[in-house]
Structure 1
């Protein structure tokens, strides 16, 4: 029997068309900022909370737009599937900073989508659902 996770994830792009990807501490796969929904939490609320925790940004709900829901394998939990509530947002370096990651993340990077498709260290959600929306 496999486990199941409900998450919210945010596709963040900058003015150059690059995608912000993060790697959580103790993991190898790159993914979008985001995380698990807490009990009773709506996906949009979870996305905003995770952005605050991971990137230190406090965004209004209207800054995110829905990209729908994706179901597939989890990146870092064996034998686990996930339901990902996806959102999109644009990064404004003047107001949002440089994308420095918070304590629960090991690192962040701005990826060029056309180059990122060649990588083998991307989470399934990023590789199968997010990148195709940018190519």
Structure 2
């Protein structure tokens, strides 16, 4: 039986439509900011906590837009699946890598198909969702 991780992930775009991605220390795949829920924590609370811990960005739960759930393979752990709640937000603060974040980047979605270092949640769910739903437009000012 595979291991299942329950987590929250965030969709954050800049005014150019680029998507904020992070790479955690000791891994090779880029993914959305976010992480595992702590005992008794809601998906939204985990998203808020992880965003502040990983990138120093503070948002309230009321600033999150729920985009749904996704179940699929984990990016960096063999025989592991994720049950992920996905949220969008448009924070005013700039990201600063902290905690386990080795680096971050702003991904132009037009370049996503040429990359081999993107997590399955991103390639199988997030990018198709952003491409298919017109309301997901850039919301941040840089």
TM-score strictly above 0.5: yes
Residue 40 in structure 1 maps to residue 40 in structure 2: yes
8 Å Cα contact 1:14/1:91 also seen in 2: no
The offset of 1:82, in angstroms, is 0.9
Per-residue deviation at 1:100?
2.0
Query: How far apart, CA to CA, are the structure 2 residues paired with 1:132 and 1:90?
Result: 20
User: 2:57–2:91: 8 Å Cα contact kept in structure 1?
Assistant: no
Identify the residue that residue 118 of structure 2 maps to in structure 1: 122
Q: Which residue of 2 aligns with 1:49?
A: 49
Q: Distance in 1 between matches of 2:90 and 2:119?
A: 21
Unaligned residue ranges in structure 2 (runs of 5+): 132-142
- Which ranges in structure 1 are unaligned for 5 or more consecutive residues? none
Pair 1:88-2:84 in alignment: no
CA offset digits 1:54-73 (Å, max 9, x no partner): 01111111211000000000
Question: What RMSD in Å do the two structures reach over aligned CA positions?
Answer: 1.0
Q: Displacement, 1:117?
A: 2.4
C-alpha displacement at 1:109, in angstroms?
Answer: 0.2
Equivalences, count: 131
**Aligned counterpart, 1:70:** 70
Give the structure with the higher percent strand.
Answer: 1
Any conservation in 2 of the 1:117–1:131 contact (CA below 8 Å)? no
DSSP-derived class of the 1:131 partner: helix
TM-score (normalizing by structure 1): 0.93
SS at match of 1:58: coil
Contact 1:71–1:83 (CA under 8 A) maintained in structure 2: yes
Could you list the runs of 4 or more consecutive aligned residues of structure 1 that deviate by over 3 angstroms after TM superposition?
none
CA contact (8 A) 1:8 1:34 kept: yes
